[in-house]
Structure 1
Amino acid sequence: MQIAHLKSMWPEGLSDPSGRRQAKPRTRGLTMVIDKGLGLHAFDDLLSSSGEYIDIVKLGFGTSPLYPLPIIRDKIKLALKHGIKIMPGGTLLEAAVRLDLVPGFFNQVASLGFTSIEVSDGTINLSRARRSELIKDARSLGLSVSTEYGKKLFGSRIDVEDFASTAEQDWACGAELVTVEARESGKGVGLFDERGECRDEDLSHILSVVPNLDRILWEAPLKDQQVALIKALGADVHLGNIPAQDVITLESMRRGLRSDTFELQQAPYLEYMI
């Protein structure tokens, strides 16, 4: 038996008992992975084993200029080969704004072959006009844009009305997704409290006010956060800042292949009588 044929030997439907997961390119249930410094071989291994379940890779924070150029170019090529969008972290653009180096940032992003950027103000303050300008400039270069809402400071919360207004304006400027900030720790920022638990009242308020929830991506690096959002919003919720080692685990939860979300399975329930 050849290894290439092993996957097809599983009974039909067992790989996705939910019966709902889209094949790539997906529009529902996007998974964004944060790469905090994987070597090229590890990155290749990640995409070889999990690339089917990854839609976006973000090279975290401001790490992109720290890679040797051949390695970052190879990472970008591998991502594109697997149908994955790839972008530098929003902190890098924030640094470019602060240092007045935005044209150089865009030139290098285009030269290297990145497909996307993230526009954020988690550390700096951006005026509405400047935020809109950055989104439009990126779109004019053929880049897709994700924006991010929220501050990285521990204890920061979501102003729901401001979030709704910001998201509407970002979409009007050409952003594809608006991301809810949670940092890579998932604790004490945005939707999550200092223990990393979901603020259910805040989530309910967001769901009642913010339109186009299918264009919101929720940073949720911790397993219990992913479970909570899947149960609240369904398996097709967009989730980000997923650690590389957790991609297949998350996909199993989306499909009802882990006990936490077993109820997502669509197969008829059978009782066996002895």
Structure 2
Amino acid sequence: MFNRDLPFWPGGWSDPSQQRQPKPRATGLTMVIDKGIGRTAFYDLMELAAPYIDIYKLGFGTSALYPAKFLKEKVEEAKNRNLHVMPGGTLFEIALCQSSPKAYIKQVKAIGFNAVEISDGTFTLSPEARKKAIGTAADAGLIVYSEFGKKAADFRAERDELLDTLEADLLAGASYVIVEARESGTVGVFDGKGKVETSFLLDIHNAAGSRANRLIWEAPQKEQQVALIQTFGADVNLGNIAGADILAVETLRRGLRGDTAVMMAERRAATCE
């Protein structure tokens, strides 16, 4: 007999890395960005890939356009699959221009979300306003994912600014800080072609110390996912992953894909012929 909810293959085949932890995980998180998939595609994704997803984000302001019934269904199903589910940070920024953090958080809670993204990628927040928004959300019992960075095409992350934001946001009540890359993967720590300097990543990671595992790197492109996994290992936190790419990313983490298979074999001191 076999468990229909687990992979059919032997454990050493389904996870050659022998590093992946079951949910709930504190590291090795995968954040999906949902740009508006429908009912059938959503439930198919949950059935196939929910064990490999930790955070489910309804990107930008898409959740504001959902029929109320379907929005609540989507949120509840994600929670039933042990996911943190949240609206995109842009919706928070739009709401804040017209109202208050307290009013926005009240609406987020009423819909049923168990997490929220606090960002200022389009409309700048003062440090005091950012701290207040994070604290308001955390006090309401939501898991807070703050975001560092701007949506502008010429935005490039600065090491010290990122580290200062990481420290301040965690102190304010955020659980993780997402490093902006947009769905294009061409801002933040990436250049206009989506490339990144590994030495820059390592500098940030080393300077962050024990807080480094609270960073989530948006990495929508396969080459970026490979680079981050090769640099930090299978348990790096990755964000802005398309639903269709979830299993592909998980194979990279586990060494089930040529891009990382040799690296994972070497890390577990095994020989693959």
Superimposed CA distance per residue, residues 1-28 of structure 1 (whole angstroms, 9 cap, x where no aligned partner): 99938933x2331100100100011112
1:141 corresponds to: 140
Q: Structure 2 CA distance, aligned partners of 1:166 and 1:31?
A: 21
| Structure 1 residues 78 and 270: alpha-carbon distance in aligned structure 2, compared to 1, 3 A threshold | closer
2:270 corresponds to: 268
Q: Structure 2 CA distance, aligned partners of 1:134 and 1:7?
A: 41
Q: CA deviation at 1:184?
A: 0.4
Q: Structure 1 CA distance, aligned partners of 2:272 and 2:207?
A: 40
Q: Is the contact made by 1:17 and 1:267 (CA closer than 8 Å) also made in structure 2?
A: no
1:44 paired with 2:43, answer yes
2:206 corresponds to: 208
| Structure 1 residues 128 and 257: alpha-carbon distance in aligned structure 2, compared to 1, 3 A threshold | same
Q: Structure 2 CA distance, aligned partners of 1:6 and 1:26?
A: 17
Q: CA deviation at 1:268?
A: 2.8
| Structure 1 residues 208 and 60: alpha-carbon distance in aligned structure 2, compared to 1, 3 A threshold | same
Q: Structure 2 CA distance, aligned partners of 1:5 and 1:107?
A: 35
1:176 corresponds to: 175
Superimposed CA distance per residue, residues 12-63 of structure 1 (whole angstroms, 9 cap, x where no aligned partner): 3110010010001111200000000011221111010000000000000011
| Structure 1 residues 97 and 5: alpha-carbon distance in aligned structure 2, compared to 1, 3 A threshold | closer
Q: Structure 2 CA distance, aligned partners of 1:52 and 1:146?
A: 20
Q: CA deviation at 1:201?
A: 4.0
Percentage of identical aligned residues: 46
Kindly report which structure 2 residues correspond to 1:211-222, keeping only aligned pairs within 5 A, or say none.
211=209, 212-222=211-221
What's the TM-score once normalised by structure 1's chain length?
A: 0.93
Q: Structure 1 CA distance, aligned partners of 2:137 and 2:216?
A: 19
Kindly provide the amino acid, as one letter, of the partner of residue 241 in structure 1: N
1:19 corresponds to: 18
Q: Structure 2 CA distance, aligned partners of 1:5 and 1:110?
A: 30
Residues 77-86 or 10-19, more deviating: 10-19
Q: Structure 2 CA distance, aligned partners of 1:11 and 1:45?
A: 24
Q: Secondary structure at the match of 1:87?
A: strand
| Structure 1 residues 270 and 229: alpha-carbon distance in aligned structure 2, compared to 1, 3 A threshold | closer
Kindly report which structure 2 residues correspond to 1:1-274, keeping only aligned pairs within 5 A, or say none.
4=4, 7-8=7-8, 10-187=9-186, 189-211=187-209, 212-263=211-262, 264-265=264-265, 266=268, 268-269=270-271, 271=273
**Aligned-pair Cα RMSD in Å:** 1.7
Q: Structure 2 CA distance, aligned partners of 1:216 and 1:7?
A: 29
Consecutive unaligned residues in structure 2, runs of 5 or more: none
| Structure 1 residues 269 and 37: alpha-carbon distance in aligned structure 2, compared to 1, 3 A threshold | same
Moved segments of 4+, more than 6 Å: none
Q: Structure 1 CA distance, aligned partners of 2:31 and 2:3?
A: 28
Superimposed CA distance per residue, residues 41-96 of structure 1 (whole angstroms, 9 cap, x where no aligned partner): 21111010000000000000011110001001000111011111100000011111
Residues 25-34 or 261-270, more deviating: 261-270
